Structure 1
């Protein structure tokens, strides 16, 4: 079996040195619409459960590349042979540092030294919560994903141009009708169920309007990331020049879209689900019970709201994690 690495990016929003540097650049950043909300950086103190989930449910992982501004969790055992600490300066040119934009950071993950050709990219809110096999991510050397067309629906409130920009890049390099014809069974597949209807209805459009995504870990081929960088360096560097997130950023989805339209993937089932943690205790309880019941292999626990009691909610979530993963992993220092 070819090695499969995991890549995860992490920020310690409580680090005073990081906070001071961030405040310094907030004052001089030119983008009025930058996304610099506190919720982009706050820490739920549950990263240890990400590592416990990997060790218990995906022990076959070859290497974990931990990408960070420079801070490292006090409990993380960096001597573990599976852990590779990656500083932003190791993968991002000096003229663009420091950067507080996760989109800019993830565009550079193919620069990680020693990264395997097959790897899976995680945000730090995406957890493995049930046993997984390498074939959940890769089959015969190809990523397991889905090719489902999507309309690009404009939202005045969000004003996010990312999909428009990225579909423009895809349409510049790929002919939609030719792509679908050459990989017809990957675009119209029984595993998509009712979602095949999207492909049927959107097929008449001559251009790609959008491709469906899930807020879950993505399997990638490093060679595809290298290829996108070769073809579109100017567009990618534009995002990297944004120290904070903006509505005009390109993100890691461009690599997924490129894999899909170039046919370098295997159709697979949905094995995870993304959840929005809210300020509603009853709704969150359902999510936490789903976590403990291991109803999915992968869960994303996303939060984009202000909490009336963030510390209380954090404790409730981590109690749920601890009931599922109570044992210390080899990635944690012995106390």
Structure 2
């Protein structure tokens, strides 16, 4: 499945206490240990300042691989069924040596051991790996798991059994000259009995890793060093459009184009509260879609005060850098700006377009949004757009979808009736450029529309997906999607539910018209939620001292 299955990371109220525990038994410089309460049980957890799901997976592989190497046990990384859970294969012949090495590891590091296969009566039952009785029953298991609990310094992000390293024992079949797997994996059920180990990239073992990024190589077998039909090996970028509506200079430019006079008092009364949604959206990206290549933030000569561009893969793009017609600027219309995204210099053919109020809720594979043959996916809303001409009763979005409908009907003879969910939009540069060529008059009019108009096209939200689908380059997809409207009386309860369950692939927290007092109240609820859900700073934030 394209979306990686999810276990809640840090349920609300899961940590009711945190206190120091005795120092780790690992020699040398190691992370601190803290005690946390997870699912009603106390666990010792290592603290990592820059923890991510992919890093947690890698650290667990490192620990098991190192133990097996030190004891001369042959092993190979397997491409398992869950992208978050690493799997290591060991021959049944080496079972005793492997278990002995892992039991010694359990005496050195604070971790837990459990049986995976055969499925135990108490699934997921964890035993302290430093206790000898915990290993007694495992000497006949077909697969076991070593789990380290790893947390960020705030104790909000908790990685546990889902990221634990599984060790499975492959049975020799000497007549066939192979080792046979005890269960399914993504590749095959057998490898050569006396095969030569090879070093493979992390992307061969989990779809969370990008083939374009450098990770430590892993000991595996040639059978796993292959590209599957559904593997994505092309680069994927992310594009945001962002505006600071509280910026007085931006407000002045906007008022000037409207022919209005902007008074300081009016600007103060009408300004938006800056919730820093972009910062938390970037955190969600860093945590949950680490396979993204470059990030482009399209803006009107603005820059968030917290933004750090030194990571090398994040760029600010000003409007005049991408607009085909400079005289169409300045513009204050998101539809106009979106019509020009395909002109970003260096942008990958495949990219995700996000508003800053969209978030990746849990680890996702790129197959959530794209197919390996290059086609995109799209996610339709369940709402229906009424048939007929535009009327004054139409919302701006509905009116623009009706404009899209007219073009689709004329070009393909099909009538669209649905918009899209507010999720990251998978797009292709070539298709956006093709739409510009196919509908030049309407496209140009949208580009030149300085303020949102009922005559605009909504290209990234709707037109691209239908056009790509009807030309054989897109398919409907599915995500477990959440939408939170801020102006609701039970906002706090909804956010508590989201934090506790963490079962959304993506979610959107949308602004609505509110009074200044309401905005302040919303901020007092939203900021703690965002910090709890995405506590780990991304590489794109300036680090403050202290």
Give the alignment's TM-score, normalised by structure 2: 0.51
1:296 is the counterpart of 2:532: no
- Partner of residue 48, structure 1: 279
1:86 is the counterpart of 2:317: yes
Higher helix content, 1 or 2 = 1
SS of alignment partner, residue 315 of structure 1 = helix
SS of alignment partner, residue 62 of structure 1 = coil
Following superposition, the deviation at residue 209 of structure 1 comes to 4.1
Per the alignment, do residues 114 and 300 of structure 1 end up closer, same or farther by CA in structure 2, a change over 3 Å counting? Answer: same
Per the alignment, do residues 146 and 327 of structure 1 end up closer, same or farther by CA in structure 2, a change over 3 Å counting? Answer: closer
1:172 is the counterpart of 2:410: yes
Following superposition, the deviation at residue 285 of structure 1 comes to 2.6
Per the alignment, do residues 146 and 290 of structure 1 end up closer, same or farther by CA in structure 2, a change over 3 Å counting? Answer: closer
Per the alignment, do residues 128 and 238 of structure 1 end up closer, same or farther by CA in structure 2, a change over 3 Å counting? Answer: same
Higher strand content, 1 or 2 = 2
- Partner of residue 4, structure 1: 236
The structure 1 residue matched to 2:439, chosen from 229, 232, 235, is: 232
Identify which of structures 1 and 2 has the higher relative contact order when contacts are C-alpha pairs closer than 8 Å and 6+ apart.
1
Residue pair 1:150, 1:209 contacting (<8 A) in 2 also: no
How many residues are treated as equivalent by the alignment? 295
- Partner of residue 377, structure 2: 144
- Partner of residue 220, structure 1: 427
Q: Which runs of 4+ in 1 moved over 6 A?
A: 147-150
Moved more, 157-166 or 76-85: 157-166
- Partner of residue 16, structure 2: none
The structure 2 residue matched to 1:157, chosen from 363, 368, 393, is: 393
The structure 1 residue matched to 2:308, chosen from 77, 98, 101, is: 77
Q: Distance in 2 between matches of 1:50 and 1:324?
A: 11
Q: Distance in 2 between matches of 1:146 and 1:18?
A: 33
The gaps in structure 1 that reach 5 residues or longer are 29-37, 177-207
1:272 is the counterpart of 2:478: no
Q: Distance in 2 between matches of 1:148 and 1:44?
A: 26
- Partner of residue 181, structure 1: none
RMSD over aligned Cα, in angstroms? 2.4
For residues 233-263 of structure 1, give each alpha carbon's deviation from its aligned partner in whole angstroms, at most 9, with x where no partner exists: 2101111222111122111221122112222
For residues 290-313 of structure 1, give each alpha carbon's deviation from its aligned partner in whole angstroms, at most 9, with x where no partner exists: 145312010011122214421221
Per the alignment, do residues 288 and 267 of structure 1 end up closer, same or farther by CA in structure 2, a change over 3 Å counting? Answer: same
Computing the radius of gyration from Cα coordinates, the structure with the larger value is: 2
Per the alignment, do residues 149 and 325 of structure 1 end up closer, same or farther by CA in structure 2, a change over 3 Å counting? Answer: closer
Following superposition, the deviation at residue 334 of structure 1 comes to 2.0
- Partner of residue 250, structure 2: 18
Residue pair 1:291, 1:299 contacting (<8 A) in 2 also: no
The gaps in structure 2 that reach 5 residues or longer are 1-232, 261-269
SS of alignment partner, residue 442 of structure 2 = helix
Moved more, 148-157 or 6-15: 148-157
Q: Distance in 1 between matches of 2:381 and 2:279?
A: 34
Q: Distance in 2 between matches of 1:171 and 1:231?
A: 13
Residue pair 1:8, 1:124 contacting (<8 A) in 2 also: yes
Residue pair 2:481, 2:505 contacting (<8 A) in 1 also: yes
Q: Distance in 2 between matches of 1:148 and 1:293?
A: 23
Moved more, 286-295 or 235-244: 286-295
The structure 1 residue matched to 2:493, chosen from 267, 285, 288, is: 285
Per the alignment, do residues 156 and 19 of structure 1 end up closer, same or farther by CA in structure 2, a change over 3 Å counting? Answer: closer
1:318 is the counterpart of 2:318: no
Q: Distance in 2 between matches of 1:149 and 1:301?
A: 18
Q: Distance in 1 between matches of 2:245 and 2:381?
A: 36
SS of alignment partner, residue 139 of structure 1 = coil
Per the alignment, do residues 94 and 209 of structure 1 end up closer, same or farther by CA in structure 2, a change over 3 Å counting? Answer: same
Moved more, 125-134 or 270-279: 270-279
Residue pair 1:144, 1:267 contacting (<8 A) in 2 also: yes
Per the alignment, do residues 147 and 66 of structure 1 end up closer, same or farther by CA in structure 2, a change over 3 Å counting? Answer: closer
Residue pair 2:486, 2:522 contacting (<8 A) in 1 also: no
Following superposition, the deviation at residue 109 of structure 1 comes to 0.4
- Partner of residue 456, structure 2: 249
Q: Distance in 1 between matches of 2:441 and 2:496?
A: 43
Following superposition, the deviation at residue 12 of structure 1 comes to 0.6
Residue pair 2:499, 2:532 contacting (<8 A) in 1 also: no
1:65 is the counterpart of 2:296: yes
- Partner of residue 106, structure 1: 338
Following superposition, the deviation at residue 45 of structure 1 comes to 2.2
